Amino acid sequence: MSLVERRQAADDRVVAPGGRTILLTHGMRMPRVDVLLHGFTDSPSQFAELADSLYQRGDNVYVPRLPHHAERSGDARALAGMTAVQLRQTADSAVDLASALGDTVVVVGLSVGGTMAAWMGQHRAEVRRVVLIAPALEAGRVPSRLEGFLINLTERLPNVTRRSAPDTARPDRNPGFATHALAEVLRLGKSVEKSADREPAKAAEFAFMLNDFDRTVSSSGALKVAKEWDAHGARVSVYAFPASLGMPHNVLDGREPGGQPALVLPEVIALTEGQSPRGPIQERPLHVTAKYP
């Protein structure tokens, strides 16, 4: 608790309103603790509604702020300083904290948070279940065979920042992207792929929540890792929202065109609790040939 309080105090010195690390506890160690990892350019508040729902169901919940996110500058240039090592360190730290907050550690990650969640599930035995929502393990629209080359090239070229208009209702977001940061996210994803190919994952259960309308990340890349984990003995399930729903990459944000959090949140809660979702999301078999975006 003291460590989290120090982190929140450090956050308060640099982050915009709504951007600090979130911790919801019942004042004691609980049977389950959930670690929620937000997406690229976003902040812990992205998971505020889910965190509250899980807390109300009896869990302790920890939502760390990712490196260089939600800073007061509101400029995506700040994200250029983020590295794969920092993401890994944040992931390790989150597992260390969660292990003191609950008996069963469940990790839920969206986009870059999904990449971090995959790394945690691959390497940390303290994690029981991992829910990966549109994980950024590979980029969309980029052939897998070229990704390593593009990561190395992007890191050697000067960073390019694309800025988007700030959202005055969400000062904790850094709209836009920085090419160096994206390369670092994909580098961490490549590390997970290589480890999954060589050795069993430390976590016992993995659930993927994909989106057939998503072109930001590669669902086929996620499926490749899912098959490796399954082959090494983990319990793996894959679900996907059909393209007909037209959902954005950030499926949790109702303010984005096509966003339907009322449909998505119950599905995420079900997977977090180890249950099968019952809504419009569809289970996808691992052991048949299928086309994925």
In tens, the pLDDT along 64-97 reads 999 988 888 767 778 888 999 999 999 999 999 9
In a domain? residue 119: yes
| Structural domain contains residue 293 | no
Q: Quick check: 44 and 64 in contact, CB under 8 A?
A: yes
Q: What is the mean pLDDT of the chain?
A: 88
Write b or e for each residue in 68-107: b if 16 or more Cβ atoms lie within 10 A of its Cβ, otherwise e. bbbbeebbbbbbbebbbeebbebbeebbebbeebbebbbb
Rounded percentage of the chain residues whose pLDDT exceeds 90:
62
Task: Copy the structure tokens of residue 119.
Answer: 């790394």
The answer to whether residue 290 is domain-embedded is no
- 289 is a domain residue: no
Interval 204-246: pLDDT, tens: 999 999 999 988 888 888 999 999 999 999 999 999 999 999 9
Q: How far apart are CA 118 and CA 206, in angstroms?
A: 9
> Could you tell me the CATH number of the domain that includes residue 240?
3.40.50.1820
Asked whether residue 199 is domain-assigned, the answer is yes
- 223 within domain boundaries: yes
Q: How far apart are CA 118 and CA 236, in angstroms?
A: 12
Look at the chain and count its residues. Answer: 293
Of 285, 269, 122, 131, which is closest to residue 208 (Cα–Cα)? 131
Domain total in the chain? 1
What are the helix (H) ranges across 168-280?
Answer: 179-198, 219-231, 261-272
Range of the domain at 245: 2-284
Picking from 8, 15, 283, 60, the residue whose alpha carbon sits closest to that of residue 173 is 15
- Range from 45-54, 88-97, 132-141 carrying the lowest mean pLDDT: 132-141
